Structure 1
Amino acid sequence: MISARAYAAATAKSPLAPFELSRRDPGPRDVLIDISYCGICHSDLHCARDEWGGQPFPCVPGHEIAGVVSAVGSAVTKFKVGDRVGVGCMVDSCGECAACTAGLEQHCERGATWTYGGSNFYRPHDPGTGHTFGGYSTAITVVENFVVRIPDALPLDAAAPMLCAGITTYSPLKRFGAGPGKRVGVVGLGGLGHMAVKIAHAMGAHVTVITTSPNKAGPARELGADAVLVSSDRAAMKAAGSSLDLIVDTVSAVHDMDLYMGLLGLEGALVLVGLPPEKLEVSAFTLTGARRIFTGSNIGGIAETQEMLDFCAAHGVQAEIEKIPAQQINEAYERLLKGDVKYRFVIDSATLRT
C-alpha cells in the first residue's frame, strides 16, 4: 500500500480537512501518479455536500488531475516513469459493453467507476471504505487505459481543469460540427463556459456568449467570443432569434429553456452540459416549430479526451486558472458559490505535502 495525504469531507455538513488514505500498489496494468495539480469542479462542491444525494463518506473530491508517473506495472505499455499525465472523471469501466467498445466509457452499461465516490469495481482497487477517493490528494493509482498523456505544450496546472471542463465542452462541439460557418452560442461564462468559448473559437466557429451579466462582455471577447447577448435584454434576445446553429448550455441552475431554444435556427441543437438539480421545462412548440434538438452530454470517452488535449495543445488553448494551496479549499468553495473565480480553481498538490 502507498500512503497519501488528502483533503476530505467527513460528512455532508463538514468542511474539508486533512485526511490520510492508502492507494494500491501498482498491479500489472496500473500507473501510479504523483499528483501535481487538481482542479476544483462545481461537481466537487455538490458531492462534498451531498447535494445530489447518495454520496458516500468520507469524500475526497477531485476529478481534474494532472501529474507525473512515478511507477508502472509490469504489463504497462502506454506510459513510463516521468511521463506527464492526467486523469479525469472516471478510472475504470467494464470494457465489454456496447458503450465501452464504442469509446463511450462514461456511459458504461454496467456503470463506470467514477474517480471519487465510485463503487463499481472491475479490477483490484484501493483499500479503504469501499469507494474511490479522488484527486485532492498527493497520489493516485489508475489502470493505464484510463490515463491520458498531457502534451508538453500544456502546463500541468492549466491542463488539470481540461480533464473535465475541457472534454465536457469539446465533446458536444465536435459532435455537432462546430467549425467554420457554424454559429455557436455558449450560455454561461464560468469554468465550463470559458473552455467552450476558447475551443469553439479554435475550431473556427462564430461564437456568441449568452450571459446574465453585462460586465462579462469584455472578458468574453478576450476569450475569443465574437458577440455577446445579455439574456435579460429581451429585445436583443428576440432580435437574435433563430440566429444560432448550436448552443452549449453550461448553467447549473434553473433557467428559461424556451428563451434560449428560441435562438436556434432550423434543426439547431441546444446541448445541456450544466447539471441543474431541478427539472427543466421546454415547450413542445419550441421544439417542433423548427425541428430543434434539446439534448445533453456528459464528459467524453478516454480516446476523445486525449484528442481534446492534443487539439488544445496544437491550438494554444488552455484553462484560465487561479492556483490555491490545499489549505484554502473551503474558502475556494465559498468563492465558487459566488462566482468569484476566473475561471477555475486549481489546487497545488505540493501544499498537501508540507
Structure 2
Amino acid sequence: MIKAWAAFEAGGELKPFEYDPGPLGAHDVEIEVEYCGICHSDLSMINNEWAMTTYPLVPGHEVAGRISAVGAHVSKFKVGDRVGLGWHSAYCNDCQTCLEGDHNLCSDVHHTIVGRHGGFADKVRAQATAVVALPDNLPSETAGPLFCGGITVFNPIVQFDVKPTARVGVIGIGGLGHLAVKFLSAWGCEVTAFTSSEAKRTEALSLGAHKTIDSTDKNAIRGAKDYFDMVISTVNVELNWGAYISTLRPKGRLHFVGALLEPVKVNILALMDQQRSISSSPVGSPAVIGQMLEFAARHDIQPQVEVFAMDEVNKAIDRLENGSPRYRVVLKR
C-alpha cells in the first residue's frame, strides 16, 4: 500500500489516504519520495479549476527521491538511484513527436496528477522514460521544483535557440520568474526584470538580473522600445501586452509560460511590421530536463524554497495560496 495525502473534494483539505498501486509495470519504476514541491498547478487540480480532476486526488508533480523498485524491462535505473519526476509520468514512445525526442508534445502523454496519483506520498510510480536522474551535486531538497517550474522557463531557451548575447525581459519575479532570471543570467543573456515591487526589484538584481523596469510605469516601458530579443511572461494575469510587444526588437518574441486563462489581445500590425511573434510552451522533454539539470548543477542554480514536513501539507498549501513564499514550497517526507 502507498500512503499519501489526498483531496476528496474541490477545495477540500488534504487527508491521509492509502491505495494499492497493483503490480509494477514492466516499463515502470517506483520512487521512494524524499521531497515534493507544491506548484500552483497542484492548487488548480485540488480546486478543479481545469475541470479534469478526479477525487480522491493525490497531488504532487515535483518529486525528488530514490528508486525503490524497477520493472522487468527497465535497464536505465537501479534501486537506490536518485531521480526526479515532473508533470508527465508516461508517453506512448511510438508517435512521431516521441521518436523525434519531443516526448512532452506526445498526444497520448500521461500527466502525473491527472487520472493518477502523484507525489504527496511515500512512493509514486511512473514510466521509466519520464523519470530523470539527478546529478550528484544537485541537492534533493531543491531539485523537485526544477522538474516543473525550472523546466518551464528553461525549455524556451532551448526551443528558440536563445543566444548568450540576447537581451531578455522577464515579467514577474515569483516561482517561475526567479528561476528564469537565474537560468538566463547563467546562460549569458542580459536580463531585465519587469516588476511592480521595490522588494522584488532588489531581489531580482541579487538573483542575476542586470536591470529592472517598473511594470507600472508606462514611461519606463516606453523607454525600452525595440530593445529585447525575447520577453518571457511568467504571470497568469492579463496585462497590456501591446506595451510589451513594443519593447521587442525586429524578429523579437513575446513568450508565455504562465498559465494565462484570458484571451491575449494584440494588434497584429504591431507583430507584422517588425516580424515579431507570440508563442508559448509547456514543460520540456526528458532529454531537455536532463540538459537543464546538468546546467543547473554546473552553475549551482537552485530554486529558493521553503520546506514543510509532509504532514504539514495543508499549512504548506495555505502558504502558497494565501502567503508570499520565497519562492517555491517543498514538502519533506
Q: TM (normalized to structure 2)?
A: 0.96
Between 1:62-71 and 1:173-182, the stretch displaced more is 173-182
Instruction: Give the drift of 1:338.
Output: 4.0
Distance, in Å, in 1 between the alignment partners of 2:304 and 2:168 is 21
Contact 1:40 1:64 in 2 (8 A): yes
Between 1:23-32 and 1:217-226, the stretch displaced more is 23-32
- Specify the code of the residue in structure 2 equivalent to 1:101: L
1:178-327 aligned at under 5 Å gives the runs 178-327=162-311
Contact 1:23 1:139 in 2 (8 A): no
CA deviation map 1:208-259 (0-9, x unaligned)? 1111222211110111110111110111111011111011111012222112
- Specify the code of the residue in structure 1 equivalent to 2:270: T
Residue 79 of structure 1 corresponds to which residue in structure 2?
77
Residue 51 of structure 2 corresponds to which residue in structure 1?
53
Residue 63 of structure 2 corresponds to which residue in structure 1?
65
Residue 352 of structure 1 corresponds to which residue in structure 2?
none
- Specify the code of the residue in structure 1 equivalent to 2:124: I
Give the 3 Å change call, closer, same or farther, for CA 30–205 of structure 1 in structure 2. same
SS in 1 for 2:219: helix
CA deviation map 1:50-69 (0-9, x unaligned)? 11212211111111111011
Residue 40 of structure 2 corresponds to which residue in structure 1?
42
Distance, in Å, in 1 between the alignment partners of 2:250 and 2:286 is 32
Consecutive unaligned residues in structure 2, runs of 5 or more: none
Q: Does residue 1:30 correspond to 2:14, yes or no?
A: no
Between 1:216-225 and 1:281-290, the stretch displaced more is 281-290
Distance, in Å, in 1 between the alignment partners of 2:296 and 2:143 is 9
Distance, in Å, in 2 between the alignment partners of 1:336 and 1:166 is 17
- Specify the code of the residue in structure 2 equivalent to 1:36: E
SS in 2 for 1:181: coil
Q: Does residue 1:173 correspond to 2:170, yes or no?
A: no
Contact 1:320 1:342 in 2 (8 A): yes
Residue 91 of structure 1 corresponds to which residue in structure 2?
89
SS in 2 for 1:285: helix
CA deviation map 1:111-150 (0-9, x unaligned)? 2100011xxxxxxxxxxxxx20111111012221111000
Distance, in Å, in 1 between the alignment partners of 2:299 and 2:238 is 34
Distance, in Å, in 1 between the alignment partners of 2:243 and 2:313 is 36
Q: Does residue 1:10 correspond to 2:3, yes or no?
A: no
Instruction: Give the drift of 1:312.
Output: 0.9
Give the 3 Å change call, closer, same or farther, for CA 24–204 of structure 1 in structure 2. farther
Distance, in Å, in 2 between the alignment partners of 1:57 and 1:241 is 48
Distance, in Å, in 2 between the alignment partners of 1:50 and 1:98 is 32
- Specify the code of the residue in structure 1 equivalent to 2:98: C
Distance, in Å, in 2 between the alignment partners of 1:337 and 1:172 is 27
Consecutive unaligned residues in structure 1, runs of 5 or more: 118-130, 350-354
Contact 1:4 1:20 in 2 (8 A): yes
Distance, in Å, in 2 between the alignment partners of 1:60 and 1:279 is 31
Contact 1:9 1:15 in 2 (8 A): yes
RMSD: 1.4
Distance, in Å, in 1 between the alignment partners of 2:332 and 2:309 is 5
- Specify the code of the residue in structure 2 equivalent to 1:182: A
SS in 1 for 2:20: strand
Distance, in Å, in 2 between the alignment partners of 1:37 and 1:325 is 9
Number of positions where the alignment pairs a residue of Structure 1 with one of Structure 2: 333
Contact 1:178 1:204 in 2 (8 A): no
Contact 1:64 1:160 in 2 (8 A): yes
Distance, in Å, in 2 between the alignment partners of 1:142 and 1:13 is 26
Give the 3 Å change call, closer, same or farther, for CA 303–272 of structure 1 in structure 2. same
Q: Does residue 1:113 correspond to 2:110, yes or no?
A: yes
Instruction: Give the drift of 1:339.
Output: 5.3
Distance, in Å, in 1 between the alignment partners of 2:49 and 2:9 is 12
Residue 150 of structure 1 corresponds to which residue in structure 2?
134
Contact 1:190 1:339 in 2 (8 A): no
Instruction: Give the drift of 1:315.
Output: 1.4
SS in 2 for 1:225: coil
CA deviation map 1:255-303 (0-9, x unaligned)? 2211222211111011101002222211212212321110000001111
